[in-house]
Structure 1
Amino acid sequence: MARQVLITGVTGGIGGALAESFIANGDMVIGIGRRRDKLTALRDRLGESLDSLQADLETVEGIDAAVDALGDRANAIDVLINNAGSMKFTPTHALNAHDVHSQLAINLLAPIWLTRKLLPGMIDRKSGLIVNMASAAGERPSPKLAAYGAAKAGLIHFTRTLAAEYADAGIRCVAIAPGPVQTGLVDKFTMAMIVRSVPLKRAALPAEIADFVRYIASNAVNLATGSVFTVDGGLSIRS
């Protein structure tokens, strides 16, 4: 039976690859994105198995509106993938209030609140999987990513807390911690510098991360909960 999969940040590099991977698996995908033009383009490419929803997840009001727009489907989500993210390289002493608020809102507060809104349906059905897209920066210090790294570290803790709290309800929660990914969010010069530190000497392709998430969401891994799956080309083994 086709699962109902909700993916945030669906118009980004990883988000689009996630939608494509799950649709190829026979699942129905609801994709949330901020820009209508990008949502339309993605729907044109992936077809009717993708249902798109425009929403701004940076505010509680935006998340509430998105859940309201889902209607009864909000109680029928089998897999929630909190993928939407925002990253900005900034020295900590140069951060402004907007930078900090935006990084925390998108990377941490939005997953918490969206999950809270969708949990009742999963609890009623006694099943569900929540996948939080964390980052290697949430596991180890990364200069110029203080706010981003703090948010992703918080997301990892949130993941483990959910896993402990809702295991008895049949709900699993895991996190994915990618290293550098070729999404276009980082300029080529900066990406080249980062990749030099990666033992495998390359960044991941969005499709590689997406297919890994799809595998984690399969029955082959149905005992995994509270786990953080690091997919960083070996970056985390470097001190």
Structure 2
Amino acid sequence: MTGQGKVWLITGASSGFGRAIAEAAVAAGDTVIGTARRTEALAGLVAAYPDRVEAISLDITDGEQVEAVAVDILARYGRVDVLVNSAGRTQIGAFEETTDRELRDLFELHVFGPARLTRALLPQMRERGSGSIVNISSYGGQLSFAGFSAYSATKAALEQLSEGLADEVAPFGIKVLIVEPGAFRTNLFGKGAAHLSDEHPAYAETVGATRKLVRDSDGTQPGDPEKAAAAIRLALDAEDTPLRLALGGDAVDLLVGHLDSVRAELATWEAVSRGTGFDA
């Protein structure tokens, strides 16, 4: 590879946000290492930019493979300037419908995999005194509703790991950006990409409505992945990069409503909350 510019390592680069971010990085003259379970989807991008794009097969849930890929990339490239943890999928199901296996698999994909890869790359960023880590979350990382309990749980875990990490690595010149998209026109709701738990009739109205929303909205989501990629680059290039970046008007509206609700509930119960200490 003879490319110039920053070196980006992007998981889930074959589609969705990962693909849009990869294309934006290449357009800016940077070098991209894109990982995916099946790299065939990246063949066109590699063929168009053979000196600046490399596709690597990676199952982010395979810890040994994650470690080996990180070691190989650092040996050949010397550094990773921007890590983007984008690999993921949708999980729809009521809490009661979701099995232990489904929950564990989702945490492996959304939490443990990104954590392993981040830990593997942190030493070189810390020693170099620069670097950026972008974790693709969701507005569901701060709130949830029927059918998304498992999905939101993994994104909330990823966000809290990221928030603590940001505080730890800021002195070393490393940025951490949590991205919270709303509904974007990716394949996240597409056939084969969205995993649905076995249905229980008791949740036909609540979770059933969520399942219908996912099926009906595929391909009509308002968010543009290319504009999302541009917004992420803008945030990373800013002198004061935000910890969280909401993307899409729907995400902003839902997050504002959620924060207002939390504040109102705190105010309603403030006297009770404050009254739990020992008497003077």
Which TM-score bucket, shorter chain as reference? 0.7 to 0.9
Judge conservation of contact 1:182–1:204 (CA < 8 Å) in 2.
yes
Distance apart, 1:59 and its partner CA = 2.1
Larger radius of gyration: 2
- The alignment partner of 2:167 has SS state of helix
Judge conservation of contact 1:16–1:42 (CA < 8 Å) in 2.
no
Q: From 254, 258, 267, give the equivalent of 1:235.
A: 254
What is the Cα-based RMSD across aligned positions, in Å?
Answer: 2.3
Whichever residue aligns with residue 165 of structure 2, its letter is: L
Q: Are residue 217 (structure 1) and residue 240 (structure 2) matched?
A: no
Judge conservation of contact 2:179–2:245 (CA < 8 Å) in 1.
yes
Change (3 A) 1:121 1:41: same
Q: From 213, 232, 236, give the equivalent of 1:190.
A: 213
What TM-score, normalized to structure 2? Answer: 0.76
Judge conservation of contact 1:88–1:148 (CA < 8 Å) in 2.
yes
Query: Could you list the runs of 5+ residues in structure 2 that have no partner in the other structure?
Result: 192-211, 259-280
Judge conservation of contact 1:39–1:54 (CA < 8 Å) in 2.
no
Q: What is the total number of aligned residue pairs between the two structures?
A: 231
Query: What corresponds to 1:198 in structure 2?
Result: none
Distance apart, 1:216 and its partner CA = 1.6
Change (3 A) 1:106 1:192: closer
**Superposition map of 1:1-239 within 5 A:** 2-45=5-48, 47-73=50-76, 75-187=78-190, 190-191=213-214, 203-218=222-237, 221-224=238-241, 227-233=243-249, 234-238=253-257
Whichever residue aligns with residue 203 of structure 1, its letter is: P
Q: Mean Cα displacement is larger for which, 64-73 or 161-170? A: 64-73
- Structure 2: how far apart are the matches of 1:9 and 1:92? 26
Distance apart, 1:71 and its partner CA = 4.0
Q: Mean Cα displacement is larger for which, 70-79 or 95-104? A: 70-79
After superposition, the C-alpha distances for 1:13-47 in whole angstroms (9 at most, x for unaligned) are 11111100111111111111110322324423554
What TM-score, normalized to structure 1? Answer: 0.88
- Structure 2: how far apart are the matches of 1:136 and 1:37? 30
Residue identity (%): 29
Query: Could you list the runs of 5+ residues in structure 1 that have no partner in the other structure?
Result: 196-200
